[in-house]
């Protein structure tokens, strides 16, 4: 009867996994909180303290650091090793399921104490993973709950393959290496950076056909955006970049939202009560640029939306779900990639960019910080309708390449100008796209106006309200133009460059 040792901090999926192992006649060993969890789930198991005849000591600091455990894991399949185990009254351990104390999450918390950080350094778990990974030819090692389904699938076919055991061992060593590097960096006087990434997909090529490319993930056993491709070819390098921009923007709105992106810059963003209306408004913002773009929706794509999209050439469409009727419509558009992805709040962690000879790291721009205070600086207050459009436009402009300008009416963009070396050109482009829709719209600028010329052009185009960070030495000049034209102006005190 095979034996599995279970000792996990993250108990997600554990009950079902352990239950199925027990049904397949596995003996389960468990320690501490894992044993209590299995007992609560009424899953038969043996506590490690009972198995080793050695109680937990130092208030649980030492549980699995015992020769009976590590000899059972490290024993090879040789007669000599098995005979020695038997002589000691011990048995081989065939699977080790461990995930570690959340050291990284602990030190990411504000004002965490050194004592608290130290207490979240896992010792026994790391030792178990390394021992099992070293003996991968006999032992299955699982360091991530997302591997449960793969292990169960192969066990039901007979046994876990050598290829899978080796892959799981590699992941376990990678995880302990990253874990130790994080601890070393935390305790070091000089911060060091260790990135542990897992290869997920070799891409057909990079931005251009002569460039090689590959997609790596922060987690193993995952896929881009944590989703799945329902139809169409594999995602390309450029698809992934465009989808990242579109999906982040769509997820930032609470109302049903549709975002259309081309070359990493939105050409249309709209919110509405119905997804179909949001799509039509986003498309109207710049229908020429939308051709061959990617689209993100933060709501299910149903039949009506699919019919509305039917005539547009779309590279990729990402949404949390697609109705069967919508999928049937898209089957006629075989080159359109459909990606179903979970609605996950974008991480507030770090983002990285490479430069020649190094990397840049910064915290993610997740919108205005909580202490941001908006200030109406013009003589005229914005109307309720203008406030709605200003709030929408201020969020939209954060996803446009700098210099970035967004014109909006209600909760839809009517003109976008971005990626320009000077701000006044971005204003002109946004007004050009808006055309007859510019009068009565509001304007959002990702940074302040260095000169009043942008405000002058906006006033001439019939724009009625402006929102921007403020902070220029010439703010008074721009404000004077706004007041003279009867524009409302709001300072946010926060800049949102996107390069």
- Positions annotated as catalytic residues are 134, 263
Q: At residue 152, what are phi and psi to the nearest 5 degrees?
A: -65, -40
Measured at the CA of 436, the angle between CA 435 and CA 437, to 5 degrees, comes to: 90
Angle between helices 67-74 and 124-134 (to 10 degrees): 30
Report which of 279, 129, 277 is spatially closest to residue 269, judged by C-alpha positions. 279
Strand locations in 110-150 (E): 140-142
CA dist 291 and 282 (Å) reads 12
Residue in the structure block whose two tokens are 């839809």? 412
State how far the alpha carbon of 495 is from the alpha carbons of 61, 64, 131, 327, 446, in Å.
48, 52, 50, 40, 6
CA dist 398 and 462 (Å) reads 23
Q: Which residues contact 114 (CB under 8 A, 6 or more apart)?
A: none
In angstroms, the first-to-last Cα distance of the chain is 59
Per DSSP bridges, beta strands 488-491 and 375-376 are antiparallel
Q: CB 10: neighbour CB atoms within 10 A?
A: 12
Q: Which residues contact 309 (CB under 8 A, 6 or more apart)?
A: 279, 295, 317
8-state DSSP, 488: E
Query: Contact at 8 Å (CB) between 314 and 295?
Result: yes
CA dist 281 and 278 (Å) reads 5
């Amino acid at each position: 009867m095979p034996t599995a040792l279970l000792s996990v901090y993250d108990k997600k999926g554990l009950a079902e996994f352990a239950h199925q192992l027990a049904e397949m006649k596995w003996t389960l060993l468990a320690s501490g909180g894992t044993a209590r969890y299995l007992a609560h789930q009424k899953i038969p198991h043996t506590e490690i303290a009972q198995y080793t005849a050695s109680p937990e000591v130092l208030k649980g600091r030492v549980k699995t650091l015992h020769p009976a455990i590590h000899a059972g894991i490290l024993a090879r399949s040789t007669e000599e090793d098995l005979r020695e185990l038997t002589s000691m009254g011990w048995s081989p351990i065939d699977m080790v399921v461990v995930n570690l104390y959340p050291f990284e999450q602990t030190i990411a918390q504000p004002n965490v104490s050194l004592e608290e950080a130290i207490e979240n350094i896992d010792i026994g778990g790391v030792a178990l993973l390394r021992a099992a990974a070293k003996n991968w030819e006999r032992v299955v090692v699982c360091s991530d709950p997302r591997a449960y389904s793969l292990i169960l699938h192969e066990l039901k076919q007979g046994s876990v393959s050598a290829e899978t055991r080796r892959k799981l061992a590699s992941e376990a060593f990678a995880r302990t290496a990253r874990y130790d590097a994080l601890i070393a960096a935390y305790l070091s006087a000089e911060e060091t950076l260790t990135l542990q990434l897992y290869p997920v997909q070799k891409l057909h090529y990079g931005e251009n056909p002569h460039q090689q490319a590959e997609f790596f993930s922060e987690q193993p056993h995952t896929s881009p955006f944590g989703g799945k491709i329902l139809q169409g070819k594999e995602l390309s390098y450029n698809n992934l970049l465009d989808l990242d921009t579109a999906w982040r923007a769509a997820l930032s709105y609470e109302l049903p939202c549709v975002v259309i992106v081309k070359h990493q810059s939105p050409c249309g963003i709209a919110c509405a009560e119905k997804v179909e209306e949001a799509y039509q408004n986003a498309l109207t913002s710049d229908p020429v640029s939308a051709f061959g773009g990617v689209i993100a929706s933060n709501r299910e794509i149903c039949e009506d939306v699919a019919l509305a999209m039917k005539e547009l050439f779309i590279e990729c469409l990402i949404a949390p779900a697609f109705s069967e009727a919508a999928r049937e419509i898209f089957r006629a558009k075989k080159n359109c990639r459909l990606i179903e992805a979970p609605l996950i709040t974008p991480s507030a962690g770090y983002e990285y960019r490479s430069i020649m000879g190094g990397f840049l790291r910064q915290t993610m721009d997740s919108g205005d910080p909580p202490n941001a205070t908006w200030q109406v600086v013009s003589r005229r207050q914005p109307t309720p309708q203008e406030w709605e459009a200003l709030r929408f436009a201020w969020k939209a402009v954060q996803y446009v390449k700098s210099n970035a300008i967004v014109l909006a009416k209600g909760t839809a963009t009517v003109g976008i100008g971005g990626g320009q070396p000077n701000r006044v050109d971005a204003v002109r482009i946004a007004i050009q796209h808006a055309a007859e829709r510019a009068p009565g719209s509001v304007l959002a600028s990702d940074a302040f106006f260095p000169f009043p010329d942008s405000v002058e052009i906006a006033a001439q185009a019939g724009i009625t309200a402006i929102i921007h960070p403020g902070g220029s030495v010439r703010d008074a000049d721009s404000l004077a133009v706004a007041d003279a034209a009867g524009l409302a102006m709001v300072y946010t005190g926060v800049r949102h460059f996107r390069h």
